[in-house]
Amino acid sequence: MNSHRNEAHLSIVKQWDADNATDLQAQDLVTLYALAFHVLCERTLATLSSITVQVVIERVLHEGATHFEVLANVRTQEDGFNFSGLIENHKNYSAADIRSALQNLLSELL
């Protein structure tokens, strides 16, 4: 992906985060991002096949997990991501690490 485009997406995600998630605790932060990913995947499924969407999210998660240990707790499922592992293990990570990982994951998916 184009580096400039990725930076633009990350900027948009960070602004969304600042507007909606600034004061959230780690577990609530994961829940909010899970909802954002769910909505994005649902909208994407309206125009792309489920197989295409699954391939994209698996690639994005795999790439993200190589850079962010936090994402090892996230799994894929037919309709998107499953954040239950991260919700269960959120206390093992700082809110800043979770935020950074989820911001980058969301920007890559965009």
The pLDDT tens digits of the residues spanning 81-91 come to 999 999 999 99
> Which one of 2-6, 53-57, 68-72 scores highest in mean pLDDT?
68-72
- From CA 92, how far away is CA 53, in angstroms rounded? 30
Q: Where are the domains of the chain?
A: 3-109
What share of the chain in percent tops pLDDT 90? 81
Mean pLDDT of the chain: 92
Q: Give 19's contacts (C-beta < 8 A, 6+ positions apart).
A: none
Determine the Cα–Cα distance for residues 110 and 107; give it in Å rounded to an integer: 5
* Residue closest to 106 by CA, chosen among 55, 50, 51, 63: 63
What pLDDT score does 9 carry?
93
